[in-house]
Structure 1
């Protein structure tokens, strides 16, 4: 029987010798693809995108005009900054939470950004 994807033994050796962060990134990337989302690394500015990943950080950024809530979403391939203008807090938007977001990709200071994305909180248990 031909080995699939390098075979069971190869996958086992990889799991035993890889860094935990690399394995987590691989797992996130697989979940993103299975959830029908695009890989963040493949998204380009101006595209309407759907990205699924885990929130690494969430912070309130007060400005002179209005507060903004910013979060970093990581899908296993690349980070995307999510910015909700005029929001101080959104229930469920917290570090470690898995969410699916949809919006038009932009770029700010060389970083991928989604402004006021639509979002779906994913169930904590996978």
Structure 2
């Protein structure tokens, strides 16, 4: 009887890493789209050398990368603001540009890298007036 790769991975004599390969493959096949997207974004964070949002602490100057989930113009009494939610697979941070109504290229679904001082305001994680670089594609 011939032993298949799945059978050998489940057996006692499996090569190191074979069981992990099977487990990762099954997770990819059964995961929903949001989970797959979050894993892709997390791998981008690792490969770019940026900090995961979940690891950022208040007061640190951080560089984060991810995809914009939403972009909202918020007219305020004092200063208008443009707010964009950046998701990197581990968490979200709100990028806030004070005095701006619109920034070309800042739109939902766009990938970007942002750098600035990590802060907390009204229970949200924010970076005010971040330096940013739009990613191609």
**Into which bin does the TM-score normalised by the smaller protein fall?**
over 0.9
Q: Which has the higher contact order (CA 8 A, sep 6+)?
A: 1
Q: Matched residue pairs, number?
A: 123
1:111 shift after superposition? 1.4
Q: TM-score under structure 2 normalisation? A: 0.86
> Pairwise mapping of residues 1-126 of structure 1 onto structure 2 (< 5 A)?
1-3=15-17, 6-7=20-21, 9-124=22-137
Q: TM-score, normalised by structure 1?
A: 0.93
Structure 1 unaligned residues grouped into runs of 5+: none
Q: Name the Cα RMSD after superposition.
A: 1.2
The Cα of 1:4 is off from its aligned counterpart by: 6.3
- Larger helix fraction of residues: 2
Whole-angstrom distance in 2 between the partners of 1:36 and 1:90: 26
Q: Which has the larger radius of gyration?
A: 2
Shift of 1:3: 1.1
SS at match of 2:78: coil
> Which runs of 5 or more residues in structure 2 are unaligned?
1-14
Moved runs in structure 1, 4+ residues, more than 4 A?
Answer: none
Quote the offset at 1:66 in angstroms. 2.0
